[in-house]
Every structure is written in structure tokens, then in C-alpha cells.
Chain A
Amino acid sequence: MEKGTDRPAASTRAVEMGVAAVIFLFGLVVVIDSYRLGARWGDDGPQPGYFPFYVGLLICISGVTILVRGWRNSALAGESFVSREELKKILTVLVPTVVYVSLIVYLGFYVTSTLYIAYFMWHLGKYSWVKIVPVAVGVSVAFFLIFEIWFSVPLPKGPLEAALGLN
């Protein structure tokens, strides 16, 4: 991908420093909660926060180290972490995936999976519905046979399965 035609959405340095800051904050949360629980020597041995306290401390230290190194490394500023084109591609997968997992509770695993596969084939693969429907339905039916019947591992089901009496 040429740099000229595809502008970066974020520089590697910005993401590097952002992630390092998040790591530092995460470490801080661990440290504070461990301190609250007691990170010292109790009457009968180490208190519950003893081990996580030092783990959190190390997270903070490494977070700061990465942050400072990223800040000093100006070469990373010109480097593209993800270009706009790439980000768009990732979001076209990530957003439907988030929608997919949040719909499972309402519609059940099999129906949502069918819709999800169909969406991918339609949006990314540009297939015709003649191909999409048999593949998407076929995969879900295969999963149903494998998990519900062969391995007897029940997955969440929704109104369709209830209507078909498959619960």
C-alpha cells in the first residue's frame, strides 16, 4: 500500500504511547486495589494483596518505560500504525462481530451465526444470495449437528429453535 494514497489513521508512536499509558493505568488500578486489601505481612502470612501489589508495580514501571521510550523515539512518529483504508477494513469486521456477539443472547447462537456468515459473504465477498443462503445455513446446521447432537454441548438458543421445538 502506497503511503501517498493512503493516509495513516494513527502513527505508531501515538498508539505506542497510548497503549503504554493504558498499561500504566491498569497497573495503577492493580496497585491501589492490592494496597486496599493489604499488601503487607499479616498475622498469619502475606496479606491477599501482597503478590498482586508487586505485579501491579512492575506493570506501572514497564508502562512508564515503554511510554518514555516511545516519546523519545521520533522515528515512530512518521510510521503508520494503521492506515485509514486498513482501519476501515478492520472496522467492517469488528463492528459486525460486536453486533454478532451481542445478539446471541436474543436470537441464539445458530440464527446469529447464520446471519453473521451471510453478512460477511454479502459485504466482503459480494456473493449472490443463491450462494450465500446455502453456505450460511449449511454451516450453522453442521455446527448444530456437531455440538448439540454429536458432542451434546448445548449452545444458547433463541425463538427460532423454540418454535421448531429443538430446545
Chain B
Amino acid sequence: MEEINALMQGFGVALSPFNLMLMFVGVILGIIIGVLPGLGGANGVAILLPLTFSMAQQPGGTTSAIILLSCIYWGALFGGAITSILFNIPGEPWSVATTFDGHPLAQQGRAGSALTAAFTSSFVGALIAVIMITFLSPVVAGFALKFGPPEFFAVYLLTFCAFVGMSGGNAAKTVASMMIGFALAAVGLDSVTGTLRLTFGFTSLLKGFDFLIAVIGLFGIGEILETLEEGLAFKGASAKINMKVVLETWKELPRYWATSVRSAAVGCFMGIVPGGATPASFMSYGLARRLSKDGKDFGNGVVEGVVAPETAAHAAGTSALLPMITLGVPGSPTAAVLLGGLLIWGLQPGPLLFVEKPDFVWGLIASMYLGNIAGLIVVLTCVPLFAAILRIPFSIIAPVIIVICAIGAYTVHNSMFDVYLMVIFGVIGYAFKKLGYPLAPMVLALVLGDRAEENFRNAIKGSQGDLAVFFSNGLVGGLTGLALFLLFWPLIKTLPRALQGKRAG
């Protein structure tokens, strides 16, 4: 078992005292970020990314840096459950389904069991996803080593088509948001020809738009504006949690093993497909309600109704890193920010990472196991502390968060222009959210825009401008075909007969 050996070496890297400390720091910061309004996994990691620049330059520093940032991500995933259950405020979109049964439980005075169930299921979901990553990622990476520019572009195409096809909402809005991301990514110096594109003579646009600024503005400032409008009266249930409640809940949990396994499977699958965590949590909740014998009680506060979405959301959030490290295609906005971090530290995400930087990859994978254990310990012991953060009045916490966002935006390039841009992105984010434009495709397009374009250009350069290159062999043809299939999935779904005809052909 080559993977096991590699993983053991990874544990060797991740278990150094410094990295272990970073894990706990990351998890705690992540939970705080997940609990606070206006800060979430994506912009939390984006704000803290500049702080890792100096760390990443030391030997072995990139591994420490990714451990810190990925643990912030795990922490944010855990933190979302706290606000959902205690305050009925989903800290993250994928925690919305957790409020359905989590908050009623808290109102009945069973907050302790709801939280224990949520954290434990999160942990189980993440663990199953990490095990999958451990064994599947070397296979995917090995497979992807054969990829050339047409294949890579086809993978990007697949990612973006999946967004449009799976968005469920308004496809035109998904396309608009995504293409705006691509257009913003194209601004500035064209790396191939050295031409200035879309700058219109403004020198501040020469560098182009940094996705980190967009993430901080769209998700941070935008969310603060949205929260403000809804008015803020945090009325939370008390957050007592003690060992007795934890053990009692743990005794109850094995009964829901079927729900756990099903939700984890849904989560793992949906996480690999981009944009997955939120739909995965809703889907598992729906499935559990339909298939459980207590289905009719769902919504009134049953533990199983917390187990299903939390397992799925964490499994999806974790498995979103699989395409990120193996193909360089992030499955979620936070994974996109982590990918951006790798690029800034000078690493090329993609299949070669497994060959060239095995320490980094396996250190990261090992830290996923350890980080989630650290997360479980921290949340189970410190819930009241984190819940207390939400009791800080909004008129204090909101300006502090905006100041943090401004500092984060400034430190990316030490540029004030970025801070102004952040405010503009904040207003865009607010309007887009209220009108139902998805923000994730824009962020992903901003991150991947240059790489997608580069691979597209190289691919059609090789074929002298003939788009048939994307169907030139089984591999690339299959990927492109799958992409088109997903793109037209909403149409195909309504025509079951046509679908069967397609399969036969």
C-alpha cells in the first residue's frame, strides 16, 4: 500500500510541534470566522492568506501555511453549525439545512445534544471524505499526468458547465456571474502577447483584479450589508454542553448509521462536483426525511435531521479539495482561495504536485485527519466561548469586521486601490446576493480565468484554430462530452426519452 506509506510520511510532517500548534490556531480562528457574520471560510482564508507569505518562504513553510489555512477552513465548517443551532442564523449557506432541526432542538433545551450530533457528524463526514481523498487522489493525479492543454481546458469546461447545469436557479444569472469573473480575470497584461487588455488607460488596472480582493468584498462587505438590513437581534439559546450530554448523544448516534453513510456518500460526490456543499446538505436532509422511519418528525427537532446535513456538508467541503490538489480545479470558493494561495507561494497545483512535492501533498492530507480531530476537540470543549462571541453587539463587531476586511484587502498587494475595489465588490456582492446571482462561479472564474484561457489558447494553437481538438481523442472527447451533458442537464432532465436515445448513441 503505497498510499499508506506516503500518508505515514505525511503524518511525520504534520505532527511537528509547530504544525500541531498551527492546526489548533487555525481551527480556533476558523471557528471564530465561521461564527461571525460577514466572515466565512472563503473570505476568512483570503484575509489571512497575506500573513502566510513570509511563512511560506521558509523551508517546509508552504506545508505549514497550507495546514494553517486548511484548518481555518475546517474550523469555519464547524463554526457554521454553532450559529445555526443556537441562534437559528446559518453562518454559512451549507448550514441552512442544519437550522431546520438544530434550532428546534435548542429551543427544547437540547442544544447540547444537537451540537454534539452536529460536530460528531461533521467529523464523521470529513473523515470519510479524507479517507476517500487519501486513496483516490493519487489515482486521479496519476491519470491527470497524461493531460495536455486540451484535456485541462476540458476539465475547466466541465467545472463551469457543472455550475450552470447544477445551479438549479437561474442559468442566465450563473452564466453572467461566471463570465464577469472571466472578463475581470482577463483585465491587465496578457501574458502571452504582452498586450494590455481592458485597461482603458488606467494604470491601476495594469495588474488586473486580484480574486482575493473580490472574495473579501463580495463575501465580507456584501454579507455585512445584508445582515444589517435584516436587523440584528441575536436571541440565542444557551450553549451548555457537558460530558454527560456528549456521551448520551454518542450512544444515540450509531442508530443513524444509514443516514450517516448515505449523507457522506452524497457529500463526497457533490463535493467533487463544484458548488457542492450547499446542495449536498439539502439533498441529504431531504433523503433522510424521506427514508427515515421518523421522517414525519423532521423539522420539529430530531437529532437525525442534524446528522444528515452536517455529515454531507462536511464531506462535501472536504472532498472539494480533491480536484483542487489533483487537477488544480477547486470545488468550492474556499478551495479556490486555497488554490490561489498555492499559486502565490509558487506551487503549481495539479497532478505534478504529487510527484514534485509529495511532502506538501501528504502533509496536507495528514493534516486533514489531524485538523478535524483538533476541530472536534476544540468545538466540544469551547462552545460557550464561541457562542459568547455572537453576543458582542453588532455595532461593535460590524466595524471591526470591516476594518479586518480592509486590512486584508490592503495587505494582498500593499495597495490602497485594492481597498477601494473591495468596497465596490461589496456593493456588487450585496446586489447580486439579493437578486439571486450565485457568487461562487464568479470567484472560481476569477481564479481559473488565466489558466483556462492559457490552456484554451495552447490547445487551439496546436490544432491551428480547429475546435475539434476538444473531441480529438477518447479522453478529451469524454470530458468535453460530459461537460456539455452537464451544461444541458436541465433540458435533458425534462426529456427522458431524448436522454435514453443519447445513452444508446
Contact = CB atoms under 8 A, between A and B. Distances in A.
A93 B228 contact: yes
Interface string B425-461: 0010011101100000000000000000100110011
Contacts of B419: 101, 104
Given A113-B403, A116-B399, A153-B50, A63 B197 contact: no
A156 interface: yes
Contact of B197 (A23, A37, A100): A37
A49 B403 contact: no
Give the secondary structure class of A's interface. Answer: helix
A163 interface: no
Contacts, number: 161
Contact of B192 (A48, A55, A66): A48
A155 B231 CA distance: 32
A62 interface: yes
Given A62-B175, A66-B170, A94-B427, A26 B180 contact: yes
Interface stretch (B87-95, B300-308, B405-413): B405-413
Interface in A101-160: 101-102, 104-105, 109, 113, 116-117, 119-121, 123-125, 127, 135, 139, 143, 147, 151-156
B179 interface: yes
Given A90-B229, A109-B407, A27 B179 contact: yes
A105 B416 contact: yes
Nearest to B230: A86
Contacts of B228: 89-90, 93
B465 A41 contact: yes
B183 A82 contact: no
Interface string B211-235: 0000000000100110011010000
Given A46-B457, A113-B403, A125-B395, A63 B176 contact: yes
Nearest to A81: B434
Contacts of B465: 41, 46
Interface size class of A (residues with CB under 8 A): 35 or more
B400 interface: yes
Nearest to A45: B461
B182 interface: yes
A118 to B, nearest CB: 9
B198 interface: yes
B193 A48 contact: yes
Interface string B268-292: 0000000000000000000000000
A30 B400 CA distance: 37
B21 interface: no
A77 interface: no
Contacts of A117: 396, 399-400, 403
Nearest to B398: A120
B416 A104 contact: yes
Contacts of B381: none
B172 to A, nearest CB: 4
B197 to A, nearest CB: 6
Contact of A55 (B173, B179, B414): B179
A27 to B, nearest CB: 7
Contacts of A62: 172-173, 175-176, 179
Given A121-B396, A155-B411, A23 B180 contact: yes
Interface string A38-64: 000100011111111001101101110
B395 A26 contact: no
B357 to A, nearest CB: 25
Contacts of A30: 183, 186, 198
A61 to B, nearest CB: 8
Interface in B381-415: 393-396, 398-400, 402-403, 406-407, 410-411, 414
Nearest to A18: B431
Contact of A46 (B200, B427, B461): B461
B404 to A, nearest CB: 8
Nearest to B397: A120
A66 B176 contact: yes
A51 B457 contact: yes
A69 interface: yes
Nearest to A46: B457
Contact of A101 (B170, B406, B457): B406
A124 B179 contact: no
A51, A101, A116, A154 pick with most chain B CB within 10 angstroms: A51
B420 interface: yes
Contacts of B51: 151, 153
B161 interface: no
B423 interface: yes
A46 B454 CA distance: 11
Interface in B448-490: 453, 456-457, 460-461, 465
A12 B420 CA distance: 27
A119 B170 CA distance: 40
B170, B197, B465 pick with most chain A CB within 10 angstroms: B197
Given A16-B435, A48-B195, A94-B427, A155 B457 contact: no
Nearest to B50: A153
Given A30-B183, A55-B182, A109-B410, A65 B399 contact: no
A52 B196 CA distance: 12
B176 A97 contact: no
Contact of A89 (B186, B229, B423, B434): B229
A26 B456 CA distance: 23
Q: Which 3 A-B pairs have the closest CB atoms?
A: A125-B395, A124-B395, A62-B176
Interface of B: 50-51, 54, 170, 172-173, 175-176, 179-180, 182-183, 186, 190, 192-193, 195, 197-198, 200, 221, 224-225, 228-229, 231, 393-396, 398-400, 402-403, 406-407, 410-411, 414, 416, 419-420, 422-423, 427, 430-432, 434-435, 453, 456-457, 460-461, 465
27 contacts: A30-B186, A34-B198, A37-B197, A48-B192, A48-B193, A52-B197, A55-B183, A55-B186, A59-B176, A59-B179, A59-B180, A62-B173, A62-B175, A63-B176, A66-B172, A69-B170, A90-B225, A90-B228, A93-B228, A93-B398, A94-B225, A104-B416, A109-B407, A119-B399, A124-B394, A135-B396, A143-B407
